[in-house]
Amino acid sequence: MKKDAPRKRDKSVGLPSREQILEFVASSTGKVGKREIARAFNVKGADRIPLKQMLKAMAEEGVLARDEGRKLRRAGDLPPVTVIEITHRDMDGELVARPLEWTDETPAPTIVVTPEPHKGRVAERDAEPPAGIGDRVLAKLTRTTDADETYDYEARIVRRVGKGAERILGLFRENSEGGRLVPVDKKLRNEFEIARGDTADAKDGDLVLAETVPGKRYGLARARVREVFGKSSDPKSISLIAIHTHGIPDRFPDSVIAEADVATAQGIEGRTDLRDIPLVTIDPVDARDHDDAVWAAPDTDPKNEGGVVVIVAIADVAAYVRPGSAMDREARKRGNSTYFPDRVVPMLPERISNDLCSLREKEDRACLAVRMVYDAQGNKRSHEFVRGLMRSAARLTYRQMQEAIDGAPDDKTGPLLEPVLRPLWDAYKTLCIAREKRGPLDLDLPEYKAELDRSGRIAAVRIADKYESMKLIEEFMIQANVCAAETLEQKQTKLIYRVHDAPSREKLVALAEFLQTLNIGFPKGQTVRPANFNKILGEVDGTEYDQMVSTVVLRSQAQAIYSPDNIGHFGLNLRRYAHFTSPIRRYADLIVHRALVSANRFGKDGQSDEETSAMAEIAEHISMTERRSMLAERDSNDRFIAAYLEDRIGAEFTGRISGVTRFGLFVRLEETGADGLVPISNLGAEYFHHDEAGHALIGERSGLTFRLGEQVKVRLEEAVPVTGGLRFEIVEGGKEGKPAGRHGRTSPGRSGGKGFRRPPTKPGRAPEKGSRGKPKSGRKGKR
């Protein structure tokens, strides 16, 4: 049966037009071939030869395509009933699918699954569960006609036909029957069997991406290798493990690359000319993004004596990445860039991030800039946004800037010192007056940096350099972010805030109880401010408790997230705050840029209606992608350092206890910042109680106490690069204390948590007080 088929031609009319054939093919639900087209358009006899030639030409041109069953269809179209695989949910929570089989060279059409109709309680009780991610289903497809629709097809499920393959990253272990897959994800405990024909020529020890296949009812599950990344010992494999384990998209679709490649540089039309202002970029020496530039000068307004003017200019990413475009959809999906020691997984293609939106020295670049005026006490008097064209006067590093200010300029900073750098420094010092009065949370924990050799292996790990010039850029960026939030609120334009809630009551109570063990008071019942934490940090500064207290204070804080609802930023002690200064690497900033474009009427490439209505979903999604990237970066660092330490098994290191749990201690090495586990069974033969409030493990008989933040010496017993796990044994450390007792009383009024007893090495004979037993063979550190 044919739906809305074109009318058959009259005998006196020639062959059907190409448009008529395409319309007929698209509207037909049954088999469509040369015979059906000839019958529909009354093509007979010798006329069938030119019809056949026309259809062949249309197929060669890619206008028509042929399925395996020889059925014709429009190229890029799907059959009205076909098997699809559900891959994920979109920002609105709808299921998204792809064709199970797609052989065209064009990108596969996008499909959204429409909800199944309500069947009533009786029918629902007997029905199978609704389809979900990973399922393969037979579906009826309807092509969408709305120009604003995100998807090419809507699908209504007919029935489920099976579960899709699950992809697993792991190590390939070769054997006589083919091999086995050992997953790198520690949550997947079982190995997978790989048949000889499914190895994809992987070699023993290769890191591979495999997918599950239907297998035997009993025994090991089966998998087939889909991609081979090379030896797991290759340092390049370390980041790949983190990327695939955490599901970070690392390949741009062809449509995104194509869209980026045709983008052209923005000119001066419709923009404010800022090219005569000597804006400079100041970044780490190995910075991969250069999207912000700064300038400052004394205010010449006689009514603002001692005041300063600051300009922060940010790459105008919104001019190139338009709402709803292929680049925009991919950027939203990624949420942010992810940084590893050996690579970056960018949010945007290189053509945008490293070219058109990189504020290169001496080259014209489109920007969104804010001009801010402050009084002599660092209080903001006014600000104004402009959409401009700038030309960076110089690309500098933090070190260059700092050395120039400290009296050691180089050939590049020397000529810039008085006209550019000194005014920047003076403006920063002015803003510091107001910052000091505002009193944001002032945590100062060491950051570690891995240095790679030419092969990609870690050559050294050191504490990262800290310069006050970093604080200069940080303060200018904070002020620009505040201005963005204020402007959008004043213009009544929707935005995504960067919010940071105050610590929860439970965390504050736990912090107060911990500080009590150090005889430090902390208000539990009153409203806390960052100043309360800063006071405590000041009390312990320079003491043996410095890092311990800083760590506990940090863990008491809530996590900052993105939200369309403003609750302020507790850590910065600001009433409103929005990320504006890094649109190359954060989607939140791109959203704010578009909002500013719309609010200030800078152009027609601002916020879209779809974006405005989806703010809550976007904020939730990019908060998730930020957490995902943080975990992937941390896992990658752990694996790199485990590989670095693999050759130093048996070496001794100085470290500090960074975590106390029921199952043991985590120790952070001072040399590398690496965290590893000391299992509780390695602490000695006696029973150790977990004092949760005091962040300590306490021996039941001896009173030997291991407390968070204390210095210890450990021996490296095991390093596993694939998982990033390190296992230590205590060599020196622990302090004499009051025995926990058999009932686990670890502090007044509190009962100790569970402990673990390690049996004595010889029956009937316990080690002497404070002695250390050897770890069990083959036990791995737990992360």
Model confidence over 683-722: pLDDT tens digits? 878 889 999 888 899 999 889 999 888 899 999 999 988 7
Does an H or E element contain 55, and which?
A: helix 48-60
pLDDT at 304 over 80: yes
Q: What is the pLDDT of residue 779?
A: 30
Please give the single-letter amino acid code of residue 394: A
User: How many angstroms separate the Cα of 108 from the Cα of each of 31, 33, 114, 658?
Assistant: 22, 23, 19, 49
Long-range Cβ contacts of 518-522 (<8 Å, 24+ apart): 518/545, 518/549, 520/549
pTM of the model: 0.74
Give the whole-angstrom CA distance, residue 447 versus residue 444: 9
Question: pLDDT (tens digit, 9 = 90+) per residue, 533-574?
Answer: 999 999 999 888 888 889 889 989 999 999 999 999 999 999
Give the whole-angstrom CA distance, residue 478 versus residue 476: 5
Give the whole-angstrom CA distance, residue 407 versus residue 388: 34
pLDDT at 623 over 60: yes
Residue 225, strand partner residues: 210
Quick one: CA dihedral 693, 694, 697, 702, positive or negative?
negative
Q: b/e for 428-462, b at 16 or more Cβ within 10 A?
A: bebbeebbeeebbbeeeeeebebeeeeebbbeebe
Give the whole-angstrom CA distance, residue 693 versus residue 101: 57
Q: Which of 171, 163, 160 is nearest to 194 (CA)?
A: 171
What residue has token string 């990237």? 629
Q: Are 37 and 21 in contact (CB under 8 A)?
A: yes
Give the whole-angstrom CA distance, residue 583 versus residue 291: 8
99 versus 730: which is more confidently predicted?
730
For 264, the token pair is 């052209």
Give the whole-angstrom CA distance, residue 329 versus residue 271: 27
Q: What is the pLDDT of residue 695?
A: 87
Give the whole-angstrom CA distance, residue 284 versus residue 396: 8
Tell me what percent of the residues of the chain surpass a pLDDT of 90: 50
174 versus 774: which is more confidently predicted?
174
Q: Which of 36, 32, 115 is nearest to 67 (CA)?
A: 32
Question: pLDDT (tens digit, 9 = 90+) per residue, 460-509?
Answer: 888 888 999 999 999 999 999 999 999 999 999 999 999 999 999 889 98
Of all residues in the chain, what percent are helix, strand and coil, respectively (each to 5)? Answer: 30, 30, 45
Q: Are 448 and 638 in contact (CB under 8 A)?
A: no
Q: Which of 39, 33, 28, 34 is nearest to 2 (CA)?
A: 28
Q: What is the pLDDT of residue 163?
A: 66
Give the whole-angstrom CA distance, residue 654 versus residue 715: 9
Q: What is the pLDDT of residue 42?
A: 82
Q: Which of 666, 702, 671 is nearest to 684 (CA)?
A: 702
Tell me what percent of the residues of the chain surpass a pLDDT of 70: 84
DSSP string spanning 178-215? EEEEEESSTT--S-EEEEGGGSTT--TTEEEEEEEE--
153 versus 365: which is more confidently predicted?
365
Give the whole-angstrom CA distance, residue 15 versus residue 50: 8
Please give the single-letter amino acid code of residue 288: R
pLDDT at 51 over 90: no
What residue has token string 């000839």? 38
Q: Are 622 and 509 in contact (CB under 8 A)?
A: no
Quick one: CA dihedral 758, 759, 761, 765, positive or negative?
positive
116 versus 621: which is more confidently predicted?
621
Q: Which of 334, 351, 314, 317 is nearest to 605 (CA)?
A: 317
Lowest mean pLDDT among 286-295, 472-481, 519-528, 557-566: 519-528
In this prediction, residue 6 has a pLDDT band, given cuts at 50, 70 and 90, of very low
pLDDT at 778 over 50: no
Q: Which of 185, 199, 211 is nearest to 85 (CA)?
A: 211
- Which ranges in 86-225 belong to alpha helices (H)? 120-126
Give the whole-angstrom CA distance, residue 89 versus residue 617: 12
Distance between first and last Cα of the chain: 62
Strands, DSSP E only, in 286-343? 292-298, 308-315, 338-339
